[in-house]
Amino acid sequence: MPVAEVWPEVERAERLARGAALKWASGVFCRPEHLERLSQYKKRESQRTTSIHTRLKSMVQSYLEGVGWGLEQLREARAELREVSHALRKAGLESSQNTEGVKSLEKLRDVSVNHQQLLAAVSNLPRLYSVRTMVLETERLVESRRLLEAHARLMELEHWQDDILWQLHGNAGTAGSSLSAEDKELVTKYFCGVGRLVEALGKEMWAVVSSALALARQNPTPFVSAVRIVEREEALDQALLEERGGPGGVSRPLPPGRPRCWRACFFQVLEEAVSARFRSVSYLHTRGPGLAGHLSALQHGIMADLATVRHLLEHCVPSHYRLTGAYLRASHRCLHTHLAQVSSWDLESGEIFAVLNWVLHIYNSPDMMGHPELVPEMEKEELGPLISTEGLEQLQSKYVQSVRKSVSEWMHKALQVELQDWQREQEPDTDHEGFYQTSLPTIITQMLEENARVALMIGPSLRDQTIHMGLYEMENLLNRCVCVITLYICVCVLLPFISVCVCYYPLYLYMCSCVSSRKSTESLQQQQSSRAGGQYSRTPPNPLAALDRAVRRACRLVMDQLLLDLQPLLPGLLTRPWLAQGDPTPKLCRVLEHHLDLYSRVRPPCRQRLQEEAQWLMVVEYVRALMQKRLVCRGAEERRQLGQQMVQDDQQFREIFQSLEGEGSVPEVNPLALLPILADFIRLKDPMMLTLEVSGLIAKYPDISEEHVSVLLDVRGDISRDVRGTVLDMLEQSAPPLPLGYRPIFTDILVPPSTLAFCLPTAKCA
C-alpha cells in the first residue's frame, strides 16, 4: 500500500516543508553574489538533518525498549493471576467441606444461651423476690423525708434493674443485636415501682428546694440532703454516659430515665420558686399611690432573700453552684417580666416616676444590687438592663404625656380663674413699682420649674423633654390668652355699660405676664442640654419668638383701642377749621396722654413698645389725613400757616412723648421727625428747590411713592406741570431699595384715587 494512503499527513507535511524551504531560499539567494555561500548553507543544513535523524532514532529506540518492558510485566502479572485463582478455588472447596461442621455447632450454641439465661435467672431470684419489699420500704422513707436513705435504696433497685437488662441484652445474641421488646416490657413492668419512686423522690426534693429560704432559717438539713442527692445523680449520669460505647464493641444502653439532669432541674425549680415567691406579692396594691410602696416592699423582700442565700444557703451547696448568682439571675428575670407588665398599664405621672426612679436609681444603688457584698456577683453575671432602652423611652414619653395633660388642664383652669378676675370693674392690682401684676406667670413658672426639678431626679433626658413640653404648653397658653382676650374685648365693646378702658386692662396684664414669662422661658431654656428635642419638635428652637408674636398681637389690640378713641377726632385734622383754630389737636393730645398714662403701668420693654407703636400710629394717621387733601393751599400765606400749624402739632406730640423718654429707650427711628420735614416741604417758598427737598425726603424715607409726592405737590397748590413732571421723573429714577431693618411708614398710608376723570394714572398730564 502506498505511503500516502497510509499516512496522508506525510504528503501534506512534505508540501509545507518544500514551500517553506523555497520561501527561505528565495529570501536568502535573492542576489547572484549570495550563491557563493551556497556550499556553506548546504553543509549547515546537512548537519542539521543528520542531527535530527539521530534524535529521532534515539527516541524510537527508547520507545521500543519501554514497550518491551511493559510486555514483560504483563506476562508476569498473568502468571500471578493464575496462581491466585488456583488458591481461591482450593479455599472454596475447603470452605464447602466445613459447612456441615458449623451446622453441628449451632445446637451447642443454643444450649449455651439457654444455660446462661437460666443461670442469670437463678442468680437474680433473690433480688427479684425482694424488689417489692424494697419498693415499699423506700416509699416509706420518701414519705418521712429521709431522702438520703431513700435514694440509697433507689440506687440499689436501679442497679438491679440495670444488671438484669444488661444480662438480657448480652444474652440476646451476637454483638450489635438489641434486647427484644417482650423482654424489655417484662422487666419494665416488674420494676414499675422504681419509676414511681423516682417521681416521688423528685417531688419531695423539689418541694424542699422550693422552700429552701424558709428551711435555711429553721433546719437546712433536708436542703443539704437534696443537694447531695443531686450531686449523686449527676455523678451517675456522667459515669453511665462514659460507659456507653465502652470497650468490647458492644454499646451498653442507658437505663430507663437516664440521664436525669437533676442539677439543671435544681436551678429550674429554684427559679420557679423565686417566681412563685415573687408572684405572691407582685399584684397586691400595685396601682395608684401604692405602687411606690409595692416597689419598696419588693426591694426589701429581694434583699432579705439574697441575704439568706448568701449567708446560709451558699454554705449548703458546692462552690461551683454559685447559688447567689443563680438567685440574682432568677430575681432579675422576674423583675424584668413584672416591670414590663407594669409599664404596659395606663399609669399616671406619679406612678411612672416611681417606676423610673426605682429602675434607674434604687435598683443599682448600694441599698440594693449595688451593695458591696453583691457587687462581685453582679460583675460575674451579665444580667442586662432591667428595662430595655425602648421601654425606658416609652415610659419617659408616657410620663411627659401625663405631665403635659395635667399641665394643660391646670393652665386652662388658671386661665378661667384669670378671666373671672378680668370681669371686676376696677383696675388690676399693682406691685410696689406701680406696674400691673398678676400671679398667673409666677404660678406657671413655679409649676414648670418644679416639673423640671422632679424630672431631673430621673435624668437630664427626661428633664429636657419636660422643659420642651413646658415651653410648648406655654406657647399654647399664650395663644389661648390672645384668643380669650380678643373675645373678651369684643364682648365688652358690645356692652355699653362697661368702660372700654376697663375691658382693656387684661391686655396690659397680659403684656406684663409676657415680660415675666420671658424671664422664666430664658431660665428654662438655659436648663436644657444642647441635644434637647424629642416628640415636641414642633416647638420653635427659640420659644421667645412665640412671646414676641404674642406681644405684637397684644400691642396691635391696644393700638386698635387707641385708634378707636382717636377716630372721632381724626376727620377734623388738616381742615380749614383746624387751620384757623388748631382743633382737634388738643383733644387728640388728651386722648393720647390718657392712653400713655395707662401704658406706664406696663413693665418694660412692653411699655416702650406701646409708646413707640403709639407714635407710629399717631404719625401714620396724621399723614393719612394729609394724603386725603382736605386742605389745598390757595397761596403762600396758607402754605406758611399750614406748615406752621403742623410744626405746632408736632411740638405738642413731642411734649407728651418726651415726658416718657426718661423712663425707657428712645426708638432708633423717631416717626415724629417726619412731620417737620413735611411742613418744610409744604411751606418752601421756591418751587425750584422742591427737587432737592424730595431727594432728602427719599433718602430718609425710601418707601415714599410717586403718589405720596404727587399729593404733597397738590396740597401746595402752586406747582406747575413742568416742575411736577421734573420732580416725579427724578423720583421714578432714584427709587432706592429699602435698607435692612428699615420700618416703612408710607407703605401703610394709602393715597385716595384721583378724582380727575380724563387723566390716566400711568400718563403725565401735559
Cell numbers describing residue 149: 436513705
In CATH terms, 393-552 corresponds, of 3.40.50.11270, 1.10.1370.40, 1.10.357.50, 2.60.40.290, to: 1.10.357.50
Instruction: Please check whether residue 391 is in contact with residue 343, taking contact to mean a CB–CB distance below 8 angstroms.
Output: yes
DSSP state of 219: -
pLDDT of amino acid 672: 87
Residue 436's φ and ψ, nearest 5 degrees, are: -60, 145
Q: How confident is the model at residue 45 (pLDDT cuts 50, 70, 90)?
A: confident
Between the alpha carbon of residue 394 and those of residues 317, 387, 388, 391, 454, the distances in Å are 42, 10, 10, 5, 18
674-682 helix and 706-716 helix, angle to the nearest 10 degrees: 50
pLDDT above 70: residue 440: yes
pLDDT above 60: residue 174: no
Select the more confidently predicted residue: 222 or 507: 222
The 3-state DSSP class for residue 436 equals: strand
Q: What is the pLDDT of residues 668-721, one digit of tens each?
A: 567 888 999 999 999 988 888 888 888 888 888 888 888 999 999 999 888 888
Q: Which residue reads 396758607 in cell numbers?
A: 638
Give CA–CA dist 591/573, Å, rounded: 15
Q: What length is written for the chain?
A: 766
What does pLDDT average to over the chain?
78
Which helix (DSSP H) or strand (DSSP E) does residue 707 occupy? helix 706-716
Instruction: Please check whether residue 316 is in contact with residue 216, taking contact to mean a CB–CB distance below 8 angstroms.
Output: yes
Q: How confident is the model at residue 514 (pLDDT cuts 50, 70, 90)?
A: low
pLDDT above 90: residue 621: yes
The structure's pTM equals: 0.64
The 3-state DSSP class for residue 499 equals: coil
Q: What is the pLDDT of residues 310-367, one digit of tens each?
A: 888 888 888 888 888 888 888 888 888 888 888 888 888 888 898 999 988 998 888 8
Give CA–CA dist 244/236, Å, rounded: 12
Please compute, for residue 372, the number of CA atoms within 13 A of its CA located in the half-sphere on the CB side: 0
With a CB cutoff of 8 Å and minimum separation 6, the contacts of 663 are 600, 604, 607
Q: How confident is the model at residue 618 (pLDDT cuts 50, 70, 90)?
A: very high
pLDDT above 70: residue 667: no
Q: Which of 246-255, 337-346, 618-627, 719-728 has the lowest mean pLDDT?
A: 246-255
Cell numbers describing residue 114: 439457654
Between the alpha carbon of residue 262 and those of residues 51, 141, 207, 271, 746, the distances in Å are 91, 20, 14, 14, 96
Give CA–CA dist 413/392, Å, rounded: 32
Q: Is 563 exposed, middle or buried (0-12, 13-18, 19+ CB in 10 A)?
A: middle
Q: Of 239, 277, 276, 274, whose CA–CA distance to 259 is shortest? A: 239
List residues bridging with 436 in a β-sheet.
430
Where in the chain are the domains?
Answer: 1-30, 264-384, 393-552, 567-733
Give CA–CA dist 235/326, Å, rounded: 21
pLDDT above 90: residue 123: no
Between the alpha carbon of residue 115 and those of residues 261, 368, 527, 535, the distances in Å are 39, 71, 97, 88
Supply angle C-alpha 623, 624, 628, rounded to 5: 115
Report the sign of the C-alpha dihedral through residues 257, 263, 266, 270, in that order: negative
Give CA–CA dist 91/74, Å, rounded: 26
Q: Of 91, 227, 36, 66, whose CA–CA distance to 148 is shortest? A: 227
Transcribe 37-66 into DSSP letters.
Answer: GHHHHHHHHHHHHHHHHHHHHHHHHHHHHH
Q: Which of 40-49, 326-335, 400-409, 534-543 has the lowest mean pLDDT?
A: 534-543
Q: Which of 54-63, 351-360, 732-741 has the lowest mean pLDDT?
A: 732-741
Q: What is the pLDDT of residues 11-23, one digit of tens each?
A: 888 888 888 888 8
Report, in this order, helix, strand and coil percent for the chain, each rounded to 5.
75, 0, 25
pLDDT above 60: residue 495: no
Give CA–CA dist 287/79, Å, rounded: 102
For the chain, percent of residues with pLDDT exceeding 70: 74
pLDDT above 60: residue 664: no
Q: How confident is the model at residue 756 (pLDDT cuts 50, 70, 90)?
A: very low
Give CA–CA dist 612/650, Å, rounded: 15
Q: Which residue reads 371686676 in cell numbers?
A: 424
